[in-house]
Amino acid sequence: MRNYRKHEIRQEMIALRKQMSKEQVEVLSEKIISTLTKLPIFKESKSIMLYLSFDNEVDTFKLIQLCKDLGKNVIVPFCIDDGKRIVPTEIKSVEKDLVKSSFGYLEPKAELVKPVSTESIDLIILPGLAFDRGCFRVGFGAGYYDRFLSKLCFTIPTIGLAYDYQILEYIATEEHDMPVDYVVTDSRIIIR
């Protein structure tokens, strides 16, 4: 892929993701999750913040259930439009604790939103439309994750999940862009 500007990257990656079949998403997500769960950083983490996948993103719902089965605390983002903030919120059950937002993605029920201290989070797993070999990411452009990550203690490891086609050689970054520590794809692990 050529060196595109971010809005071009977003358009292309959204189009590529839309072309994926449910079977492709399932098979590739299982490969990615299998690789992720073998990493020592995942095994050692007791409290994991994960995104709630939608629209052919790497599927995290089986991973959430696996985390629950392993006795890990599961924390998910609750996005507040005012200030474009993420509030880390613990959930106990995907079926009982989540509702569809006005934008069509799942989020914690408003009455369950009680901010979890970021100091109690051992690992953050986040999405991206694209990543580069330096572990910088392109999201949807609203800056929720960049703002959230910029306020964290840098000892919390971060992992981006992506399909291999979402890996670019280089993404032009801006001062506010925050890299992740690892990117796990269906064929490789990239370490910053």
Q: Is 176 annotated as a binding residue?
A: no
Distances, alpha carbon 123 to alpha carbons 59, 139, 189, in Å: 17, 19, 16
Q: Is 131 annotated as a binding residue?
A: no
Q: Is 95 annotated as a binding residue?
A: no
Q: Is 133 annotated as a binding residue?
A: no
Q: Is 10 annotated as a binding residue?
A: yes
Distances, alpha carbon 18 to alpha carbons 62, 132, 139, 163, in Å: 21, 21, 16, 13
Q: Is 26 annotated as a binding residue?
A: no
Q: What are phi and psi of 24, to 5 degrees?
A: -60, -45
Q: Is 163 annotated as a binding residue?
A: no
Report the SS3 class of residue 105.
Answer: coil
Q: Is 8 annotated as a binding residue?
A: yes
Q: Is 141 annotated as a binding residue?
A: yes
Q: Is 33 annotated as a binding residue?
A: no
Q: Is 110 annotated as a binding residue?
A: no
Q: Which amino acid is at 153?
A: C
Q: Which amino acid is at 50?
A: L
Q: Is 52 annotated as a binding residue?
A: yes
Q: How far is Cα 161 from Cα 167, in angstroms, rounded to an integer? A: 10
Q: Is 9 annotated as a binding residue?
A: yes
Please, what's the largest Cα pairwise distance for the chain? 45
Q: Is 139 annotated as a binding residue?
A: yes
Q: Is 142 annotated as a binding residue?
A: yes
- Going by the annotation, the residues of the binding site for ATP are 6-10, 137-145
- Going by the annotation, the residues of the binding site are 6-10, 52, 57, 137-145
- Going by the annotation, the residues of the binding site for substrate are 52, 57
